[in-house]
Amino acid sequence: MTAARTTAYLDHAATTPMLPQAARVLTEELARTGNPSSLHASGRAARRVVEEARERLAASLGARPSEVLWTSGGTEADNLAIKGLFWARRTQDASRRRILVSAVEHHAVLDPAFWMAEHAGAELVLLPVDHEGVVDLDALRAELEANAEHAALLSVMWANNEVGTLQPLAEVVALARRYGVPVHADAVQAVGQVPVDFAASGLDALTVTGHKVGGPGGAGALLARRGLELTPVLHGGGQERGVRSGTLDAALLASFAVAVEEAVTTRASAAPRLAALRDELVAGVRAIDPTAVLRGPADPARRLPANAHLTFPGCEGDSLLYLLDSAGVEASTGSACQAGVPRPSHVLLAMGVDEDDARGALRFSLGRTSTSDDVAALLTALPAVLERARAAGLSGSSRATSSSAAPRAAGTHDEQVA
Q: What is the mean pLDDT of residues 42-47?
A: 96
- CATH number of the domain located at residue range(s) 20-265 in this protein: 3.40.640.10
Mean pLDDT of 14-20: 97
Residues 6+ apart with CB under 8 A from 386: 288, 289, 312, 315, 320
Closest listed residue to residue 284, CA positions, set 396, 383, 175, 415:
383
pLDDT at 334: 62
Q: Indicate the average pLDDT of the chain.
A: 92
- pLDDT tens digits along 322-374: 999 999 999 998 644 443 456 899 999 999 999 999 999 999 999 999 999 99
Inter-residue contact 16 to 213 (CB < 8 Å): yes
CA distance 29 to 258: 13
Give dist(CA 156, CA 103) in Å, integer: 9
The predicted-structure confidence for 110-160, as pLDDT tens digits, reads as follows 999 999 999 999 999 999 999 999 999 999 999 999 999 999 999 999 999
Please give the average per-residue pLDDT across 286-307, as a whole number.
96
Sequence-ordered list of residues with C-beta below 8 angstroms from that of 170, at least 6 positions apart, any chain? 201, 202
Antiparallel, parallel or unpaired: β 183-186 and 205-209: parallel
Predicted TM-score of the model (pTM): 0.92
**Strand partners for 307:** 365
Look at residues 78, 90, 153 and name the one whose alpha carbon lies nearest to residue 120: 90
* Closest residue by Cα to residue 308 from 324, 337, 285, 325: 285
Encode pLDDT of 158-215 as tens digits.
999 999 999 999 999 999 999 999 999 999 999 999 999 999 999 999 999 999 999 9
Q: Where in the chain are the domains? A: 20-265, 268-395
Looking at 174, 337, 394, 417, which residue is catalytic? 337
Pick the CATH number of 268-395 from 3.90.1420.10, 3.90.1150.10, 1.10.10.10, 3.20.20.60: 3.90.1150.10
Examine the residue annotation and report whether 315 is marked as an active-site residue of this protein: no
